[in-house]
Amino acid sequence: MNTPPTLWEYRLRPEDSGQKYLAILTHKFHFSAKLLQRLKQGERVWVNGKFTYLTARGKEGDRLSVQLFSNEEANIQGEDLPLDILFEDEYLLAVNKPVGQVVHPNRRYPANTLGNAVIGHWERRGEKRLFRPIHRIDRNTSGVVVIAKNQFAHQQLAWQLERGHIHKRYLGFVAGVVLENEGVIDDPIGFAPNSFIKRQIQADGMSARTLFRVLHRYPEVTFLEFTLETGRTHQIRVHCEGFGHPLIGDDLYGGSRVLLDRHALHSSMYAFLHPSTGLPIVIRAPFPEDLRSLVIRLKK
């Protein structure tokens, strides 16, 4: 069974009159050159129901339609696995990833990943799609992961991500009492010596900026909200270690596993503009059970 095509449409406004359709799609809606080339070759761009060349010029009231590529052979094996869906439409799928699940298959984790679960979910509905996560979170980080359902949606959200238009928030528990109510950690991050996994703060690393806010203080633990302005690998974990308050359970970065056997970090919110409508959309993931249990223990 083939995946039903997704049709993106836009009615030209007065300021679009005289503009080439190529310019409108490129500058106003940020279609990539690669995607436009595919659409051109497939004769997938129409005006008022008829095929058009991208170099043609439009006028107010024209109905510009683009048939997006949706029917694509999956790039990984689908599996029948549990999937906690937070949101889904023609363009996007947002899920609440559980603790211990890898986002994308790799040599160490070739199966039982989020990617296998997502592809299996689509296959059961007769849909053929590629697995295109907009971002990844660590295996032992729970929470929101957003997946694009076609090349256009992926390219649109990647464009927003590169320009800092996507807002990501995390919740975490760190060791010790953080005295400041809020603050900014602005330290570059690079690879630790002789490691392909561990990162560290280093002067010649990639810029990394994390905002934090105290939500609650316990006698020996602080509950924090983190907002990322950049998206470096292990960014929150490295920054927490760097300012002397490692995440609970994060033994890779100086944390103790006495209270929790994984790092206490949850991807709680992902906010962006919808790739088709341009309207704001906010995805939230509920607190996982192990962190709820941690709160009960800390209160006692």
**pLDDT tens by residue, the chain, 300 residues:** 566 668 899 999 999 999 999 999 999 999 989 889 988 888 899 999 999 999 999 999 999 999 887 678 777 999 999 999 999 999 999 999 999 999 999 999 999 999 999 999 999 999 999 999 999 899 999 999 999 999 999 999 999 988 889 999 999 999 999 999 999 999 999 999 888 889 999 999 999 999 999 999 999 999 999 999 998 999 999 999 999 999 999 999 999 999 999 999 999 999 999 999 999 999 999 999 999 999 999 998
Name the 3-class secondary structure at 250.
coil
Q: What is the pLDDT of residue 195?
A: 85
Q: Which residues contact 155 (CB under 8 A, 6 or more apart)?
A: 30, 31, 32, 35
Measured CA to CA, the distance from residue 242 to residue 248 in angstroms comes to 14
List Cα–Cα distances, 292 to 54, 107, 230, 247, in angstroms: 54, 33, 28, 16
Q: What is the pLDDT of residue 4?
A: 67
Q: What is the pLDDT of residue 194?
A: 85
CB 270 within 8 A of CB 136: no
Measured CA to CA, the distance from residue 259 to residue 263 in angstroms comes to 10
Q: What is the pLDDT of residue 174?
A: 98
CA proximity to 125, closest of 222, 286, 3: 3
Q: Between 3.10.290.10, 3.40.50.720, 3.20.20.140, 2.60.40.650, what CATH number should domain 6-68 receive? A: 3.10.290.10
Measured over the CA atoms of residue 125, residue 129, residue 130 and residue 133, the dihedral's sign is negative
CA proximity to 289, closest of 270, 264, 269, 271: 264
Q: What is the pLDDT of residue 265?
A: 98
DSSP-derived letter for residue 2 is: P
Name the 3-class secondary structure at 252.
helix
CA proximity to 263, closest of 83, 139, 105: 139
Measured CA to CA, the distance from residue 83 to residue 97 in angstroms comes to 8
**DSSP code string of 191-219:** EPTT-SS-EEE-TTSB--EEEEEEEEE-S
* CATH, range 167-267+294-299: 3.30.2350.10
Alpha helices in the chain (DSSP H): 21-23, 33-41, 114-124, 151-162, 235-242, 289-299
Q: What is the pLDDT of residue 6?
A: 83
CB 149 within 8 A of CB 8: no
Range(s) of the chain covered by CATH 3.10.290.10: 6-68
CB 243 within 8 A of CB 210: no
Q: What is the pLDDT of residue 189?
A: 96
CB 152 within 8 A of CB 8: yes
Active-site annotation holds for 138: yes
On whether the pTM is more than 0.75, the answer is yes
Range(s) of the chain covered by CATH 3.30.2350.10: 167-267+294-299
Q: What is the pLDDT of residue 3?
A: 67
CB 193 within 8 A of CB 147: no
Please pick, among 16, 62, 138, 250, the residue that the annotation labels catalytic: 138
Q: What is the pLDDT of residue 43?
A: 87
